[in-house]
């Protein structure tokens, strides 16, 4: 049985509910309506040093309806709840728009209707893996990570999610997407009288998740990595504090993925650039008139937004307002070329031809409005191996795996810390250091990018993100190869 | 789906009878399938949100959410199954039991921890604490009218406004195999906005069960005036300043308390402030921080998703490191009373968490706090705080919006956002006065989470970015923590 064959609604039943909602999303002044129906199921299994297991499987199914009435949006959502419910949600959306009338009108960028079906390729259905196999893997991981005496805490987890996402709008688009993702996390903490230190794998914030089946988890090499993670956590207890100052640094792919997320992805959301997110998430240091001309970084910096790349949490065929996915260069050779957009933001900005923008309207399931989130946004690889990059640097540091991060509301001034760093002398990795951190300003930081390692060193990461009011979650893909930055400001805190 | 519209008075997304019946059905089915123990909760939220920017209501939303989650235990192993489909409650109970049994077969039985003691006298919430008719009546038309007035006021001052006004009903039902059966529903009024005039900005946020507490007319006038005064910002030189943290900044400073060891898990693991520093004075007696789900200000709620009474837990009891919040599992493991702070976060393991952080106010006005500073900085809001070192309670972040130099006891030149890296205990140890007025704001990613706090005056607060001398110097406390 396919990993996509599950749930309470097949495509035909879902389509009927979409049509019911669209039929009800009408009335005087209604010029556009779209409906999203999402059925999702998520499974998580965690364990720790005490052998305690926590397993949960969460299922939800619901409908979100958005209408444009007299130029004003109205949105309503509710869980699926029997006959007639879809129409009721649509009527609430129409009523909300009517009650919100009288403010400046929303205009949508022109777009041809697009219909189709898309599914994430899956080799092994993660929901079909037995409790015994999952438990055995986690137990081996915990045992390996906790082998050193000073490891005091280990948490290991597995996660999987599957979704049926259906979309229809009043312009004729009809879309279905069947998504599956799999992931894992490991966190080890070593402690003694010198303090506590942590190491993690495959990423430090909620682990890593890919659009794939169980084969992704098996390919991580969790058990071997767990041994390293435990040993490095203990080694960090006795490692010297990383010094502050100015230094050349090769930043590893996990840390750089977060740097891209915070200082590129968020900064290039068009709704931020236009000011819509001023109150909470913030604005951007990028101005609307900068698009096409602004030097964002060095010529070594090329950033793509490409949801058509398979396997990431930012991979899809259509965004959550039905815009087909396509590859766009956001930054090319250091110059800002494009931004992540939603349909109404594009229209307000006014510069795009019909349907040609990097569609990035995304929502957290059925309950929330689509807003601009990053998609699959990554640094294009350069050439050569990590060792060659370290050799090119000569003296400096190699740092990876985020420990702490903070950036201002314009995505300009930031400070990041990593779990681990190594002194590099003469191109060779030497002493392990604790408490490495660096900071700077976005354009200066990216301007100091000298070289990016090749595609063989590239790693992709799936990340959760928060935005909007009320805050909703977005799930994104970012990736990078290790990259050399010259003259970074380092130090601040442990 | 509910058949009501936003035009009616707000009402729960599910309602008491249906919510309790679904939970009970799930528990019965779990027990019938062989669960040794079973419990279920249903959380629901019906929210209307009017989001606006400049001259548009750009995201008006009417969102109904609910989740029924059942936990079954077989031979000490537990599994949870959740659904939005209330007609599938029994199936959820059976599946939870089946999954718990599968884990028990795979991993072997686990000894059941003894039930924690309650150990607390629980007061009854005063009538009207949870439900405010005025909040329930604050529908979309009323919020849009308020937004129009706000946008007009900002425009009249040459500026723009951005933000959201919202109203919600939060409900929670809990049923367990031992006869616990609880339900409560509560209103919530929420407002937040930023006014921008040229480069000057000012921000406000507040929430409460009672709409009148928000006092929107006064807040709009004050925020527009502050944004005008905040024009012409200059960079803040790195260095150590006496600061007045506004109520929002103080609240944000408290948000990381869970990471410093004020949870039952941390106590059981022997790490963090309560495990290692309980009884130690870290701040003056006037600094009183608690998690108080029964405080009227903020978002009081009587019990948690495990059905345990949620009680006040002193965290810094008049400046002294005190107690930890617990859920049932961490209470049993740490040998502490259950305090009703169960929390199931997305993409995380269930764990206890503070959800109703409060700092007791003082008696000073903000003007009086500022009046006591010869040279310093007023900070309206903090932003993007991240814990750097939980043992040292060190975090990093930035200031934001209406921040000013203080010179000779008066707010003078507005300053741009500035980065800092500070120990929270260190900051609190240097508090010498507290404001009388309190603002409440949401706790991110925490169910029904809120933090409410007054303004503080702090003698010595370091601003500085990466690599700067000010930022890289470490306080004695950080060195020894």
Chain-chain contact of B64 with A106 (C-beta, under 8 angstroms): no
pLDDT at position A65 over 70: yes
**C-alpha atoms less than 13 angstroms from C-alpha of B460 in its C-beta half-sphere:** 11
Q: Can you say whether residue A263 is alpha, beta or left, with left for phi > 0 and alpha for psi between -120 and 50 degrees? A: alpha
Chain-chain contact of B384 with A407 (C-beta, under 8 angstroms): yes
pLDDT value for B113:
73
Residues B414 and B411: their CA atoms lie apart, in Å, by: 8
In chain A, the percentage of residues whose pLDDT exceeds 90 is 92
Average pLDDT, chain B: 93
Token pair for B102: 């599968």
Chain-chain contact of A100 with B144 (C-beta, under 8 angstroms): yes
Q: State the average pLDDT over residues A275-299.
A: 96
Q: Say if CB A87 and CB A104 are below 8 A apart.
A: no
Chain-chain contact of A439 with B51 (C-beta, under 8 angstroms): no
Chain-chain contact of B79 with A56 (C-beta, under 8 angstroms): yes
Angstroms from B56 CA to nearest CA on chain A: 5
Name the packing angle between helices B89-107 and B16-32 (round to 10°). 40
Q: State the average pLDDT over residues A427-455.
A: 97
Chain-chain contact of B110 with A52 (C-beta, under 8 angstroms): yes
Q: State the average pLDDT over residues B46-62.
A: 96
pLDDT at position B245 over 80: yes
Domains, chain A: 11-237 (3.30.2290.10), 245-490 (no CATH)
pLDDT value for A102:
83
Distances (CA, A) of B207 to A249, A372, A470, B296: 45, 26, 13, 11
Phi, psi of B112 (to 5 degrees): -80, 130
> Tokens 């959820």, residue?
B92
Q: What DSSP letter does each residue of A284-346 carry, written as one string?
A: -SS-GGGTTT-B-S-TT--EEE-TTSTTSTT--SB-TTSPBP--EEEEETTEE---BB-HHHH
Residues B25 and B91: their CA atoms lie apart, in Å, by: 9
Q: Say if CB A40 and CB A7 are below 8 A apart.
A: no
Residues B96 and B104: their CA atoms lie apart, in Å, by: 12
Angstroms from B288 CA to nearest CA on chain A: 27
Q: Which of B426, B420, B354, B357 minimizes the C-alpha distance to B392?
A: B426
Angstroms from B142 CA to nearest CA on chain A: 9
Residues A83 and A17: their CA atoms lie apart, in Å, by: 9
Q: State the average pLDDT over residues A219-226.
A: 97
Q: State the average pLDDT over residues B327-352.
A: 92
Residues B25 and B5: their CA atoms lie apart, in Å, by: 28
- Give this prediction's pTM: 0.95
Q: Say if CB B242 and CB B376 are below 8 A apart.
A: yes
pLDDT value for B222:
97
Chain A with chain B: Cβ pairs closer than 8 A: 296
In this structure, of A462-476, B121-135, B282-296, B315-329, the range with the lowest mean pLDDT score is B121-135
DSSP one-letter code for B274 = H
pLDDT value for B471:
40
Which residues of chain B lie closer than 8 angstroms to A103, CB-CB?
A: 52, 55-57, 144, 147-148, 151
> Tokens 């659009």, residue?
A211
Give me the architecture of the B16-228 domain, per CATH: 2-Layer Sandwich (3.30)
Q: How does pLDDT run across B253-277, given as a tens digit for each residue? A: 999 999 999 999 999 988 899 999 9
CB crowding B8-30: b at 16 or more within 10 Å, else e: eebebbbbeebbbbbbbbbbbbb
Chain-chain contact of A404 with B417 (C-beta, under 8 angstroms): no
Q: How does pLDDT run across A337-346, given as a tens digit for each residue? A: 999 999 999 9
Residues A37 and B68: their CA atoms lie apart, in Å, by: 19
Q: Say if CB B254 and CB B357 are below 8 A apart.
A: yes
pLDDT value for B150:
97
Q: Say if CB B277 and CB B319 are below 8 A apart.
A: no
pLDDT value for A318:
98
pLDDT at position B279 over 70: yes
Q: State the average pLDDT over residues B241-252.
A: 98
User: Which DSSP helix (H) or strand (E) runs through A441?
Assistant: strand A437-441
More confident residue, A53 or B87: B87
pLDDT value for B475:
34
Give this complex's ipTM: 0.95
**How does residue A1 score in pLDDT terms, banded at 50, 70 and 90?**
confident
Token pair for A4: 């996509």
Q: Can you say whether residue B190 is alpha, beta or left, with left for phi > 0 and alpha for psi between -120 and 50 degrees? A: beta
**How does residue B481 score in pLDDT terms, banded at 50, 70 and 90?**
very low
pLDDT value for B395:
93
Q: Say if CB A290 and CB A340 are below 8 A apart.
A: no
Q: Which of B398, B52, B92, B96 minimizes the C-alpha distance to B253?
A: B398
Q: How does pLDDT run across B356-397, given as a tens digit for each residue? A: 999 999 999 999 999 999 999 999 999 999 998 898 999 999
Strand-pair category, A437-441 with A413-425: antiparallel
> Tokens 């007639």, residue?
A84
In chain B, the percentage of residues whose pLDDT exceeds 90 is 87
Q: Which of B269, B298, B256 minimizes the C-alpha distance to B392?
A: B256
Chain-chain contact of A492 with B396 (C-beta, under 8 angstroms): yes
Q: Which of A417, A419, A400, A462 minimizes the C-alpha distance to A187?
A: A419
Which residues of chain A lie closer than 8 angstroms to B400, CB-CB?
A: 408-409
Query: Hey, which residues 196-215 in chain A have their CB within 8 Å of chain B?
Result: 196, 206
User: Secondary structure of chain B: what % helix, strand, coil (to 5)?
Assistant: 25, 35, 35
Q: Say if CB B402 and CB B230 are below 8 A apart.
A: yes
pLDDT at position B104 over 60: yes
Residues A271 and A358: their CA atoms lie apart, in Å, by: 13
Residues B63 and B467: their CA atoms lie apart, in Å, by: 46
**How does residue B466 score in pLDDT terms, banded at 50, 70 and 90?**
low
Angstroms from A78 CA to nearest CA on chain B: 5
Q: How does pLDDT run across B126-156, given as a tens digit for each residue? A: 888 999 999 999 999 999 999 999 999 999 9
pLDDT value for B124:
75
Q: Say if CB B61 and CB B48 are below 8 A apart.
A: yes
**C-alpha atoms less than 13 angstroms from C-alpha of A114 in its C-beta half-sphere:** 17
Compare CB distances from B387 to A72, A131, A404 and report the shortest one's residue.
A404
Chain-chain contact of A73 with B58 (C-beta, under 8 angstroms): yes
Residues A347 and A339: their CA atoms lie apart, in Å, by: 13
Which residues of chain A lie closer than 8 angstroms to B415, CB-CB?
A: none
More confident residue, B473 or A198: A198
pLDDT value for B4:
42
pLDDT at position A447 over 60: yes
> Tokens 């799999």, residue?
A182
C-alpha dihedral over A300, A305, A310, A313, to 10 degrees? 110
pLDDT at position B312 over 80: yes
In this structure, of A52-56, A175-179, B22-26, the range with the lowest mean pLDDT score is A52-56
Residues B289 and B316: their CA atoms lie apart, in Å, by: 5
Residues A168 and A33: their CA atoms lie apart, in Å, by: 9
Q: What residue in A sits closest to B112 (Cα-Cα)? A: A52
Q: Which of B165, B214, B173, B170 minimizes the C-alpha distance to B11?
A: B170
DSSP lists the bridge partners of residue A484 as A250, A451
On whether any CB of chain A is under 8 Å from the CB of B261, the answer is no
> Tokens 């792919």, residue?
A253
Q: State the average pLDDT over residues A58-67.
A: 98
C-beta atoms surrounding B335 within 10 Å: 12
Residues A389 and B309: their CA atoms lie apart, in Å, by: 58
**How does residue B470 score in pLDDT terms, banded at 50, 70 and 90?**
very low
pLDDT value for B115:
75
pLDDT at position B468 over 60: no
Q: How does pLDDT run across B425-464, given as a tens digit for each residue? A: 999 999 999 999 999 999 988 999 999 999 999 999 999 9
Element counts in chain A: helices (H) and strands (E): 10, 23
DSSP lists the bridge partners of residue B243 as B377, B458
Phi, psi of B64 (to 5 degrees): -115, 125
C-beta atoms surrounding B413 within 10 Å: 13
Q: How does pLDDT run across A72-124, given as a tens digit for each residue? A: 999 999 999 888 899 999 999 999 999 998 888 999 999 999 999 999 999 99
In chain B, the percentage of residues whose pLDDT exceeds 70 is 94
**C-alpha atoms less than 13 angstroms from C-alpha of A191 in its C-beta half-sphere:** 12
pLDDT value for A266:
98
Which residues of chain A lie closer than 8 angstroms to B58, CB-CB?
A: 73, 106, 276, 344
CA-atom Rg of chain A in angstroms: 23
- Range list for CATH 3.30.2290.10 in chain B: 16-228
A212 three-class SS? coil
**How does residue A284 score in pLDDT terms, banded at 50, 70 and 90?**
very high
Average pLDDT, chain A: 95
Q: What is the largest CA-CA distance in chain A?
A: 73
pLDDT value for A144:
98
- With 0-12 / 13-18 / 19 or more C-beta atoms within 10 angstroms meaning exposed / middle / buried, residue A243 is middle
Q: How does pLDDT run across B183-236, given as a tens digit for each residue? A: 999 999 999 999 999 999 999 999 999 999 999 999 999 999 999 999 999 999
Q: How does pLDDT run across A168-190, given as a tens digit for each residue? A: 999 999 999 999 999 999 999 99
């Amino acid at each position: 049985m396919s990993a996509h064959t599950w749930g309470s609604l097949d495509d035909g039943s879902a389509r009927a509910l979409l049509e019911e909602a669209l039929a009800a999303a009408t009335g005087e002044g209604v010029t556009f309506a779209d409906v999203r129906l999402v059925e999702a199921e998520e499974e998580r299994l965690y364990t720790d040093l005490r052998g305690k297991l926590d397993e949960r499987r969460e299922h939800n199914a619901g409908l979100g309806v958005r209408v444009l009435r007299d130029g004003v949006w109205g949105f309503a959502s509710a869980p699926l709840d029997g006959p007639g419910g879809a129409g009721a949600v649509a009527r609430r959306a129409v009523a909300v728009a009517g009650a919100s009338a009288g403010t400046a009108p929303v205009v949508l960028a022109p777009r041809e209707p697009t219909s189709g079906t898309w599914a994430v390729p899956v080799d092994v259905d993660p929901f079909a893996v037995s409790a015994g196999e999952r438990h055995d893997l986690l137990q081996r991981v915990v045992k390996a990570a906790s082998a050193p005496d000073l490891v005091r805490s280990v948490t290991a987890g597995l996660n999987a999610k599957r979704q049926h996402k259906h979309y229809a709008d009043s312009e004729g688009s009809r879309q279905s997407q069947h998504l599956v993702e799999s992931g894992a996390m490991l966190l080890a903490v070593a402690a003694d009288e010198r303090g506590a230190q942590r190491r993690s794998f495959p990423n430090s914030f909620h682990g890593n998740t890919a659009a794939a089946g169980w084969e992704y988890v098996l390919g991580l090499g969790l058990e071997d990595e767990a041994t390293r993670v435990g040993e490095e956590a203990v080694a960090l207890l006795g490692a010297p504090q990383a010094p502050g100052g100015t230094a050349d640094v090769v930043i590893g792919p996990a840390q750089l993925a977060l740097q891209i997320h915070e200082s590129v992805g968020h900064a290039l959301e068009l709704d931020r650039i236009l000011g819509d997110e001023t109150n909470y998430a913030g604005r951007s240091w990028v101005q609307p008139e900068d698009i096409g001309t602004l030097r964002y970084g060095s010529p070594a910096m090329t950033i793509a937004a490409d949801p058509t790349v398979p396997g990431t949490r930012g991979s899809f065929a259509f965004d959550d307002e039905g815009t087909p996915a396509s590859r766009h260069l956001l930054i090319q050779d250091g110059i800002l070329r494009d931004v992540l957009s939603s349909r109404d933001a594009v229209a307000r900005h006014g510069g795009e031809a019909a349907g040609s923008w990097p569609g990035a309207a995304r929502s957290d399931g059925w309950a929330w409005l689509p807003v601009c989130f990053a998609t699959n946004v990554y640094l294009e690889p350069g050439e050569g191996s990590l060792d060659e990059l370290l050799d090119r640097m000569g003296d400096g540091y190699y740092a990876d795996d985020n420990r702490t991060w903070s950036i201002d509301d314009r995505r300009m001034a930031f400070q990041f810390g990593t779990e681990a760093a190594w002194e590099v002398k003469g191109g060779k990795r030497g002493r392990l250091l604790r408490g490495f951190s660096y900071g700077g300003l976005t354009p200066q930081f990216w301007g100091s990018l000298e070289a990016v390692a090749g595609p063989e060193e590239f790693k992709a990461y799936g990340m959760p993100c928060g935005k909007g009011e009320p805050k909703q979650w977005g799930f994104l893909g970012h990736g990078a190869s290790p990259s050399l930055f010259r003259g970074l400001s380092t130090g601040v805190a442990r | 789906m509910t058949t009501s519209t936003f035009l009616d008075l707000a009402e729960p997304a599910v309602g008491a009878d249906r919510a309790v019946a679904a939970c009970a059905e799930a528990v019965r089915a779990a027990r019938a399938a062989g669960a040794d123990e079973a419990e279920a909760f249903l959380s629901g939220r019906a929210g209307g949100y009017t989001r606006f920017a400049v001259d548009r209501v750009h995201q008006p939303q009417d969102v109904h959410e609910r989740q029924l989650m059942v936990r079954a235990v077989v031979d000490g192993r537990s599994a949870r199954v959740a659904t939005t489909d209330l007609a599938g409650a029994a199936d959820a109970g059976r599946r939870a039991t089946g999954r718990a049994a599968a884990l028990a077969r795979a991993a072997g039985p686990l000894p059941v921890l003894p039930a924690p003691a309650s150990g607390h006298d629980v007061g009854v919430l005063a009538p009207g604490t949870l439900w405010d008719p005025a909040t329930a009546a604050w529908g979309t038309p009323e919020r849009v009218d308020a937004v129009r007035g706000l946008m007009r006021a900002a425009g009249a001052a040459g500026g723009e406004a951005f933000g959201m006004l919202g109203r919600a009903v939060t409900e929670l039902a809990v049923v367990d195999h031992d006869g616990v059966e609880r339900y409560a529903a509560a209103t919530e009024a929420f407002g937040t906005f930023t006014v921008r005039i040229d480069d000057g900005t000012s921000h406000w946020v507040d929430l409460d069960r009672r709409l009148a507490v928000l006092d929107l007319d006064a807040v709009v006038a004050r925020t527009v005036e502050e944004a005008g005064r905040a024009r012409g910002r200059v960079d803040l030189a790195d260095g150590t300043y006496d600061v007045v943290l506004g109520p929002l900044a103080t609240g944000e400073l408290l948000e990381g308390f869970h990471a410093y060891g004020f949870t039952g898990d941390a106590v059981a693991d022997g790490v963090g402030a309560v495990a290692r520093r309980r009884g130690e004075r870290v701040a003056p007696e006037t600094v009183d921080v608690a998690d108080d789900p029964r405080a009227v200000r903020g978002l009081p709620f009587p019990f948690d998703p495990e059905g345990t009474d949620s009680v006040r837990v002193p965290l810094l009891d008049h400046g002294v490191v005190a107690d930890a919040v617990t859920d049932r599992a961490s209470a049993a493991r740490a040998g502490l009373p259950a305090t009703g702070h169960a929390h199931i976060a997305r993409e995380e393991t269930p764990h206890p968490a503070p959800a109703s952080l409060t700092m007791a106010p003082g008696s000073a006005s903000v003007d009086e706090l500022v009046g006591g500073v010869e040279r310093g900085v007023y900070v309206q809001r903090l932003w993007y705080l991240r814990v750097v070192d939980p043992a040292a309670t060190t975090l990093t972040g930035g200031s934001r919006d209406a921040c000013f130099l203080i010179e000779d006891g008066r707010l003078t030149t507005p300053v741009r956002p500035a980065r800092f890296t500070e120990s929270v205990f260190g900051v609190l140890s240097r508090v010498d006065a507290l404001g009388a007025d309190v603002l409440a704001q949401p706790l991110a990613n925490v169910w029904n989470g809120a933090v409410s706090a007054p303004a503080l005056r702090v003698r010595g607060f370091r601003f500085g970015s990466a690599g700067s001398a000010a930022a890289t110097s470490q306080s004695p406390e950080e060195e020894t923590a």
